[in-house]
Amino acid sequence: MMLREQMPFRAALVALNIHISGEEADKTEHSAGFRKLLSQEQQILYQELASDLNFTKQAVVGGMLHATQMLLREGLWDKAVEAFFKLARVQDWVGAESNVNVMLGLSQRDIDEARKNLMEKQAVQVN
């Protein structure tokens, strides 16, 4: 409940109708055993999310676009621009270092053939 609904520990206690003192709640929440269990459950949740057939690149792009639109609505233009740039990188519209990715979709064979054609054209021009 805490992980899936992003609910704080004390709110989860209330939702589950568990009545313990504040001191006991703090002690439990910060105990090594609880932290270990929470970490294990977090890994299980992440595995479930990652194995979801609907978790695709398009879903990620859609989520990023939605988050970017929220930034725009809040007037956080600088963060929105950065988010758009990150979205462009995910889409392979720009390379990791802000370079336009002109090799997108080209295989090594395509590149080798283009290089060969260029060399032949240069050889013809020299002769």
Express each pLDDT in 25-80 by its tens digit: 999 999 999 999 999 999 999 999 889 999 899 999 999 999 999 999 999 999 99
Is residue 46 a contact partner of residue 55, using CB atoms and an 8 Å limit? no
At 106 the pLDDT is 76
Q: Between residues 106 and 13, which one has the greater pLDDT?
A: 13
Has residue 44 been placed in a domain?
Answer: yes
Same domain, 67 and 112: yes
At 18 the pLDDT is 94
Nearest Cα neighbor of 90 from 68, 67, 58 is 58
Has residue 40 been placed in a domain?
Answer: yes
At 96 the pLDDT is 60
Q: How many distinct structural domains can be found in the chain?
A: 2
Same domain, 36 and 74: no
Has residue 103 been placed in a domain?
Answer: yes
Same domain, 75 and 111: yes
Region 1-7 average pLDDT: 89
State how far the alpha carbon of 86 is from the alpha carbons of 52, 77, 101, in Å: 23, 14, 14
Confidence grade of residue 108 (pLDDT, cut at 50, 70, 90) = confident
Same domain, 85 and 67: yes
Same domain, 70 and 113: yes
Q: Which domain holds residue 17?
A: 9-51
